[in-house]
Every structure is written in structure tokens, then in C-alpha cells.
Amino acid sequence: MESKAKLLGHPVHPMLVMYPIALLSVAVLFDVLYLATGTDDFARFAFWSITVGLVMGLAAALFGLVDWLGIRPGSRAKRVGAWHGIGNVTLVLLFAVSWAIRLGDLEYAPNILPFVLALLGVGIAVVTAWLGGELVYRLRIGVDDEAHADAPSSLRGSVPEATEVARDSGKPARVG
């Protein structure tokens, strides 16, 4: 099933998910550095990483929802996608609470609760990232139906009708 929301021929959702994954993960690293050293700069870096990670996470979620709505009802992919989405909403909420608690401190320094919430969020992110991989690499959700090792650039549009993918070799085979 091809993605419904594309930019220059590629699905938007996977283009965006790397940002919240990286930003929210690095926020936990900065929290660890802050808790280990007491250096306020690390707490501020963590806070702003969470801030941008939440914004990017919401953008990725919007495009993920568009793709999920296009999955055939009753399929395993629909169920895996639902768990993927529910998990990601949960981790965004955990980070949002962690972010909100930090607002009370001039340096945005986390005490143990915001740190634990962020740590739980990263743990959930590992699971939801695996579920996203299952959707793409096992269930072929978001994958161009005409994709193969010798497909033309996605900027060109679809593969000419005279070819199809030979399932055993991954190379185009002539039809007719």
C-alpha cells in the first residue's frame, strides 16, 4: 500500500519521524548529563530538544494518521498501525508532561519525575519504532507498489506499464 501523503514522490511520515526520535532521545542524554554534572546548560538543551521534538512529533503523527486511515480495515497492518500510533501518542504525552513540569524551573532543570517520564518515553519509542519497521519492511505499508531495485526515480512518476517486478529477482521483467 502506497503512502497517501507524499512530497516529491516519497512518503512524508518517515521523513518526519527521525526528528522526534532523535530530539527526544538526545533530551534524555542531556538530562543524564545534567543529573551527573549539575550543569544548567544541559537542562536547557534537554528542554529545548523536547520542545522541538514535540512539535515535530505532532507533525509526524498527522501524516502517520493519514497513512493509517488508508490501510485496509481488519488487516494485521491496521492493528499494528493502531498500536504504533497509540504508543507514539503515549510517548508524546509522557514527554509533554515532562516538558510542562520543567516550566516551573528557571533553568528548566528536571527533577527525578520529568527524567523518569522522558526515560519511559524513550523506552516506548523503541517499541513503536520496531512496530513502524514491521509496518514498512514486513507489511509493505507506505511502500511504492512499483518499487524494485531498478525502478526509476520517484521524481519521474510511475514505472512504464510495459514492466513489472519479477518477484524472484527484484529486476524488471517484460510483460507481454
Contact 107, 44 (CB under 8 A): yes
1 inside domain: no
95 inside domain: yes
Average pLDDT, the chain: 87
User: Tell me: the pLDDT tens digits for 36-54?
Assistant: 999 999 999 999 999 999 9
Domain match, 85 and 155 both? no
Count of domains observed in the chain? 2
137 inside domain: yes
Domain match, 152 and 138 both? no
| Region 108-137 average pLDDT | 93
164 inside domain: yes
> Do the bridges between strand 10-11 and strand 163-165 make them parallel or antiparallel, or are there none, so unpaired?
unpaired
Quick one: pLDDT band at residue 1, thresholds 50, 70, 90?
Answer: confident
Domain that holds residue 82: 6-145
- Is pLDDT at 103 greater than 50 in this prediction? yes
Please, how many CA atoms are within 13 Å of residue 136, restricted to the half-sphere of its CB? 15
119 inside domain: yes
What pLDDT is stored for residue 7 in this prediction? 77
